[in-house]
Amino acid sequence: MKLKSIIVTVLVIVMSGLIMNAWAADNKCPKIGIVSVHKIFQDCKRNAKYRQEMLAERDRLEAELENLSKQIDVGKSSLKMLKPGSSDYLSGMKDVLDKQGSLQAKQEYFKRQMDMREQAVIEQLFKDVLKATAGVAKEKGFDLVFEKSEPDFPAANSSDLSGMISTYKVLYSSGCEDITDAVMAKVDANSI
């Protein structure tokens, strides 16, 4: 009885090995590539151009806000020379308060405007990275392409560290071709 169990076990092991070898011979291993989306976002020409435009826009908006802030300061200074309760004082106070309200509203509007614009640019750039990655992968015959960016240590806080750990998926990629530069070239070629 024991001998029969041993023979069956050996046969199962041998058959499993033969089946696995036959499967491996029939199925090719997938060709895998990697791309650093972070590097593309950081180094592509489109993002550099966008950063320049955003800095110029931010400088323009800050100058506008600074001008309004100076007008408020001048208005406050002139109020000190007027008699509280006089019609000139009340008119000046109304002007200062209107300008303060306008300053706060413009600050909020400019912040939201910049955030929305940045989000739209990043979304479009990511869509273009995905499209370019698919194109490069097809040209090079890849079956799979994974995102691989190096984590940025040290983390600012434990929440950032948790975010890095939860999003860092490719831990090792020896033998996988890095197609980041080819994808970046395709993104830049289609954007300028």
The count of domains in the chain is: 1
pLDDT in tens, 75-128: 999 989 989 989 999 999 999 999 999 999 999 999 999 999 999 999 999 999
- What is the extent of the structural domain holding 93? 30-189
**Is the residue at 165 inside a domain?**
yes
Give the side-chain half-sphere CA count within 13 A for 44: 29
* 25 domain residue, yes or no: no
Query: Could you give the 3-state DSSP secondary structure of residue 12?
Result: helix
Residue 15 lies in a domain: no
Distance between CA atoms of 183 and 176, rounded to whole angstroms? 15
For residue 8, tell me if it sits in a domain.
no
- pLDDT score of 172: 80
| Residue 163 covered by a domain | yes
CATH no. for residue 86? 3.30.910.20
Residue 14 within any structural domain of the chain? no
7 within a domain of the structure (yes/no) = no
Residue 138 lies in a domain: yes
pTM of the model: 0.69
